[in-house]
Amino acid sequence: MPLSAIAFETEQVAPRAPAPVPQQPIATLSNITKRYGTTVALDGLDLSLRTGEVVALLGPNGAGKSTAIKLLLGLIAPTSGTSRVFGSDPRETTTRTRVGAMLQVARVTETLRVREHLDLFRSYYPNPLPVSEILHIAQLQGIEDRLFSQLSGGQKQRVLFALAICGNPDLVFLDEPTVGMDIEARRALWQQIRSLSDQGKTVLLTTHYLEEADALAHRIIVINKGRVISEGTPTEIKRNSGGRTIRCYTNLSREFLLTLPSVTSVEFNAGAVVVAATDAETVLREMLLRDETLSGLEVTSPALEDAFLALTKN
């Protein structure tokens, strides 16, 4: 990563890193390997975040998503490779004042009120958001005087979200932010994540809900076993993992269909044929030309979920 090399040099000359120019990554993991004993959590991972984008980190359990976030937060040190945030070490206090994090916390101090939690976390940051604004963004109005122990699961998640954004950070890490939320609360939080991005803030989120990545992310990074296995917009990810599916009733033979360009599989299902192809248009044109009786036509993109399963299946 030549960019981080430049950032490092500038930092050597002047202690305060210059404000990043647009398109320069504001946070990078370069060739990171992280081992726990003999287990390899991350294996030569490269990752970079640019100003204003929402990036989703997808992967099965144990893929290394949380490890990547902890490295960017400077909570753990890499076995090899470098982690840079805003051109400097993520452990620097000056870096941390520009970063907010929502981590998976098993138990938060239960005997403090929502308002007290916010008051304490706001005091850590030089330019925090006003309390009323935080309550509005995280939709905590009306419950700000409740003890944490009196909140529902979704409300607790919203308090953790509030703690992540209360310092008005430029970069926000959200580790499984909508776990335990109902659909309505989840969509409301999505709206808030989008508005963070509209304000030019950068968001890195991990999620198990593929729908969430599809709805929010500008860019999805699929990791498995500590390596990036695919990266792109949600559309690109779907396209790269087997293209689209054509389903119809036709008298064309399976053998013929398999000879068409870009066809990856042909299956028969309840009298209909299901053709998977990366270049669906060309295949379809040929099929319509050869079979005038073709009927019941449906063309579908795979759900992100199918794409994801296809990608992570070794």
Give the binding site for another protein (CB under 8 A): 16, 18-20, 36, 51, 70, 73-77, 93-94, 96-99, 101, 103-109, 111-112, 116, 119-121, 123-127, 147, 160, 163, 167, 170, 200
Nearest approach, Cβ of 167 to another protein (angstroms)? 7
Q: Write down the least CB distance from residue 106 to another protein, Å.
A: 4
Q: Residue 75 corresponds to which tokens in the numbers above?
A: 């909570």
Decide: 48 and 28 in contact? Cβ < 8 Å: yes
Q: With respect to another protein, which residue has the nearer C-beta, 67 or 312?
A: 67
CA atoms within 13 A on the CB side of 143: 16
Residue closer to another protein, measured from CB, 18 or 261: 18
Token pair 């959200």 is at which residue? 174
**Whole-number minimum distance, CB 51 to another protein, in Å?**
7
Cα–Cα distance between 73 and 69 in angstroms, integer? Answer: 6
Q: Which of 47, 43, 7, 31 is nearest to 82 (CA)?
A: 31
Closer to another protein by CB, 121 or 308: give it: 121
How distant is the alpha carbon of residue 251 from its chain centre?
44
Measured CA to CA in angstroms, residue 181 lies from 152, 176, 187, 294 at distances of 9, 11, 9, 45
Taking the complex as a whole, how short is the minimal distance between the CB of residue 20 and another protein, in angstroms?
6
Instruction: Output the smallest distance, CB 101 to another protein, in A.
Output: 4
Cβ proximity to another protein, 84 vs 96, nearer residue: 96
**What's the closest the beta carbon of residue 81 comes to another protein, in angstroms?**
16
DSSP assigned state of 150: G
Taking the least distance from each CB to another protein, the nearer of 2 and 126 is: 126
CA distance 4 to 29: 9
For tokens 């006003």, name the residue. 130
* Closer residue to another protein in complex, CB, 119/306: 119
Which helix (H) or strand (E) element contains residue 203? strand 202-206
E strand or H helix that includes residue 66: helix 65-72
